[in-house]
Amino acid sequence: MSVTASIPSDFWNDQLVAHDRQYLFLVLLGFVGSFGFIRLSTRLMRSPRVPWWPGSVVSEGGVHVHHLVFGIVTMMLAGSLSFGGFATSPWYEILAVLFGIGAGLTIDEFALWVYLDDVYWAKKGRSSVDAAVIGASILGLVLLGVRPFDAADGSVAAVIGSVVSIALSLAIVGICFMKGRNAHGAVGFFILPVAIYGACRLGKPASPWARRFYGECQPEKQAASAERFAPERRTERFKEWARDKIGGVTEAEFEAEHPAE
């Protein structure tokens, strides 16, 4: 059975193949599908309602093998095989889906990359959910044909203009990341007004920007930032609610809801 058999032919041919984006679509499909499945699986693992659900993979020595490992191996295999003469249908479509699946499994433990610690169910682990949402958004923007930069026409003036434009864009995007506004930076890389908006707004209180330019230098800005991103604010509560819905509650919150009998 073809990988694309369930996709409407008009959409596949007219919207994807015609613009040479069919493989990116399959990567996105595998990415979202694997991230959604593994998040559902990990939540079911700790749920007392489904004790029959398989648990984590543990080696003979008692080492927990994170699904990050399976994701990396899957991406390596899919990427290597795609360069090894399998770039023909239907193998290339299958490899694109497998690469997306590996990416989804890997990005689900993004927090492990950053903290080098198993913080999956801790507050720090919420960065994995944020990374997955940002990653899917970037793939979606590329799939829609959004390009951050256009190639110059070859003239000296055009090349210089392009270099200056790219440098300014990257600087603005960098300010977003320094301010802790990662979503604005990632999306703004493709849609510059989003990055400009994020760069002009207050940085988060624990961000590198706040540590460098707020604090003792501008205590009023530090106080305004702390107030703006206070956990009790409606927008921050909504973000936490969304993270809970996507990724599950933290270990401390789960234990409070399910006290040991």
117: in domain:
yes
The span from the CA of 229 to the CA of 236, in Å, is 7
Structure tokens at 197: 């908006």
Q: Are residues 7 and 97 in the same domain?
A: yes
Last residue of a domain, one of 86, 118, 146: 146
Contact between 210 and 230 under an 8 Å Cβ cutoff? The reply is no
Which amino acid makes up residue 116? L
Q: Are residues 64 and 156 in the same domain?
A: no
Taking alpha carbons only, the member of 239, 234, 240, 236 closest to residue 253 is 240
Domain count, the chain: 2
Last residue of a domain, one of 146, 165, 193: 146
236: in domain:
no
207: in domain:
yes
Q: Are residues 182 and 142 in the same domain?
A: no
122: in domain:
yes
Q: Are residues 219 and 102 in the same domain?
A: no
- Report pLDDT for 130: 92
Structural domain for 9, as ranges: 1-146
Instruction: Please say if the pLDDT value at position 161 is more than 70.
Output: yes
Quick check: helix, strand or coil at residue 143? helix
Q: Looking at residues 143-167, what average pLDDT do you find?
A: 76
Backbone φ and ψ for 181, nearest 5 degrees, come out as: -95, 70
Q: Beta partners for 65? A: 57
239: in domain:
no
Calculate the dihedral angle through the C-alpha atoms of 208, 213, 214, 216, rounding to the nearest 10 degrees.
Answer: 120
Contact between 91 and 3 under an 8 Å Cβ cutoff? The reply is no
Q: Are residues 34 and 152 in the same domain?
A: no
- pLDDT band at residue 175 under the 50/70/90 scheme: very high
Measured CA to CA in angstroms, residue 172 lies from 94, 131, 140, 168, 187 at distances of 38, 20, 22, 6, 12
Tens digits of per-residue pLDDT, 200-221? 999 999 999 999 999 888 899 9
Q: Are residues 119 and 53 in the same domain?
A: yes
258: in domain:
no
Q: Are residues 125 and 163 in the same domain?
A: no
* Largest interatomic CA distance in the chain: 74
- Report pLDDT for 185: 94
Q: Are residues 106 and 152 in the same domain?
A: no
Residue 1 neighbours by CB distance under 10 Å: 6
251: in domain:
no
Contact between 98 and 30 under an 8 Å Cβ cutoff? The reply is yes
* Site of tokens 């689900």: 108
243: in domain:
no
Q: Are residues 97 and 134 in the same domain?
A: yes
Q: Are residues 58 and 153 in the same domain?
A: no
- Report pLDDT for 91: 87
Q: Count H helices, E strands: the chain?
A: 13, 2
202, containing H or E segment: none
Contact between 39 and 247 under an 8 Å Cβ cutoff? The reply is yes
Q: Is the pTM of this model over 0.75?
A: yes
- pLDDT band at residue 74 under the 50/70/90 scheme: very high
Last residue of a domain, one of 123, 146, 169: 146
Q: Are residues 221 and 134 in the same domain?
A: no
Q: Are residues 50 and 139 in the same domain?
A: yes
Residues belonging to the chain? 261
For residue 48, cis peptide bond before it (omega within 30 degrees of 0): no
Structure tokens at 109: 């433990």
Tens digits of per-residue pLDDT, 42-71? 989 888 888 888 888 888 778 888 999 999
Which amino acid makes up residue 220? E
* Site of tokens 């994701």: 71
